[in-house]
């Protein structure tokens, strides 16, 4: 059951479900291995003890670039790296050696992603998160008049004026104690009365703030 669902999910994001033997080529599309006949006894321990595939097969093979079916990923420049680090509010590399190490790591990560990006996903809806997308699941997630919170909100409105426009009664007490009662200001590194204090000057090791 789990196997079929994993396979169906893999199909959805386009990863090939054919298992490739490590002795064969690292390409993801390979001929099928001989399947055990139903009459033969399957030894689970033997079957599961040897890995048949490793993620390493997706990393660039420096010894044999010709066999790699995916084109080499574009090289990242130093300025691109700095731009990405600034966007993520991460510190810039401290030395050229650190920077070249960071670049090589990023490069190998990109070639790993290339294998995924090379799959044809035409017409396939991207997966955002794994949720219950059955009809029953969607019905449960639907927000409508059958939900108590919505019904209560609509019932507490009053209809105003000749034009019969509904209006929410403001000033009605909202019981949010469960969510609000905790020591908010205790998390502040610096306080001023009931306010959090932030220093906005461009000083120290802080990068300049990017204003959205």
Partner 1 sequence: MARIRTVELGRYLLNGKLGRQGCLCARRASFAGMSAIGQTRHFASPAQQFEPPIHPRKQAKDQAKALKASGKKQKKKNTDNQTVPGWELTVGIEIHAQLNTPRKLFSPAATSFNDTPNSHVALFDVALPGSQPAFQPDALIPAVRAALALGCDIQHVSRFDRKHYFHWDQPAGYQITQFYEPFAKDGHIVLRARDGIAAEDGDSIKIGIKQVQMEQDTAKTMALPGEVQWLDFNRVGVPLIEVITLPQMHHPATAAALVRKVQMLLNSVDACVSGMEAGGLRADVNVSVRRTDDTSGELGTRTEIKNLSSFKAVEDAIIAERDRQIALLEAGGVVAGETRGWSLGGTETRRLRGKEGEVDYRYMPDPDLGPVVIDEQLVSHLATSMGMLPDAEMDQLISEYGLSTKDALSLVQLDDGARIQYFYNVLDELELRLGADKSSDQSHVLLAANWCLHELGKLTEVSSDLEMTPSGECKVGSADLAAILHHIHRRQITAKVAKDLLWSVFRGEIEHRGVSEAIEAQGMWFQELAEEEYAAIADSVVQGEMKVVGEFLRFKTGKTKAYPQGKLMFLVGRMLQAGPEQKMDPASAERVLRVRIEEVYIPALEAMQAAEE
Contacts with partner 1 by CB under 8 A lie at 83, 87, 89, 126, 128-129, 131, 138, 141-147, 149-150, 153-154, 159-168, 170, 172, 174, 176, 178-180, 182, 184-185, 187, 192-201, 209-212
Q: Which is nearer to partner 1, 41 or 136 (CB)?
A: 136
Q: Which is nearer to partner 1, 45 or 143 (CB)?
A: 143
Q: Which is nearer to partner 1, 52 or 78 (CB)?
A: 78
Minimal distance, residue 205 CB to partner 1, in Å: 15
Q: Which is nearer to partner 1, 32 or 192 (CB)?
A: 192
User: How far apart (Å, rounded) are the C-alpha atoms in residues 26 and 20?
Assistant: 8
User: How far apart (Å, rounded) are the C-alpha atoms in residues 92 and 79?
Assistant: 11
Q: What is the largest CA-CA distance in the chain?
A: 82
Structure-block tokens of residue 34: 């001989």
Minimal distance, residue 125 CB to partner 1, in Å: 11
Minimal distance, residue 164 CB to partner 1, in Å: 4
Q: Which is nearer to partner 1, 22 or 137 (CB)?
A: 137
Minimal distance, residue 206 CB to partner 1, in Å: 10
User: How far apart (Å, rounded) are the C-alpha atoms in residues 169 and 161?
Assistant: 14
Structure-block tokens of residue 32: 């099928």
Minimal distance, residue 94 CB to partner 1, in Å: 21
DSSP assignments along 154-187, one per residue: HHT-EEETTTTEEE--TT-----HHHH-S-SGGG
Minimal distance, residue 42 CB to partner 1, in Å: 37
User: How far apart (Å, rounded) are the C-alpha atoms in residues 184 and 4?
Assistant: 47
Distances (CA, A) of 199 to 20, 112, 190, 202, 209: 56, 41, 10, 9, 11
Q: Which is nearer to partner 1, 41 or 130 (CB)?
A: 130
> By the 8 A CB rule, do 110 and 89 touch?
no
User: How far apart (Å, rounded) are the C-alpha atoms in residues 96 and 101?
Assistant: 9
């Amino acid at each position: 059951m789990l196997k079929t669902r994993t396979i169906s999910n893999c199909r959805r994001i386009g990863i090939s479900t054919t298992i490739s033997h490590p002795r064969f080529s690292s390409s993801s599309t390979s001929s099928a291995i001989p399947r055990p006949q139903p009459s033969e006894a399957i030894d689970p321990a033997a079957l599961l003890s040897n890995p048949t595939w490793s993620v390493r097969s997706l990393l660039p093979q420096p010894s044999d670039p010709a066999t790699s079916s995916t084109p080499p990923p574009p090289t990242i420049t130093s300025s691109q790296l700095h731009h990405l680090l600034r966007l993520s509010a991460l510190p810039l590399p401290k030395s050229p050696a650190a920077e070249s190490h960071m670049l090589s790591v990023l490069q190998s990560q990109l070639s790993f992603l290339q294998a995924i990006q090379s799959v044809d996903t035409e017409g396939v809806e991207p997966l955002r998160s794994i949720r219950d997308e059955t009809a029953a699941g969607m019905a449960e997630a639907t927000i409508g008049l059958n939900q108590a919170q919505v019904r209560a909100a609509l019932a507490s409105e009053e209809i105003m004026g000749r034009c019969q426009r509904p209006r929410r009664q403001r000033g009605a007490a909202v019981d949010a104690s469960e969510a609000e009662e905790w020591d908010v200001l205790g998390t502040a590194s610096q306080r001023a009365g009931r306010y959090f204090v932030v220093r906005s000057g461009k000083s120290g090791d802080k990068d300049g703030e990017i204003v959205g």
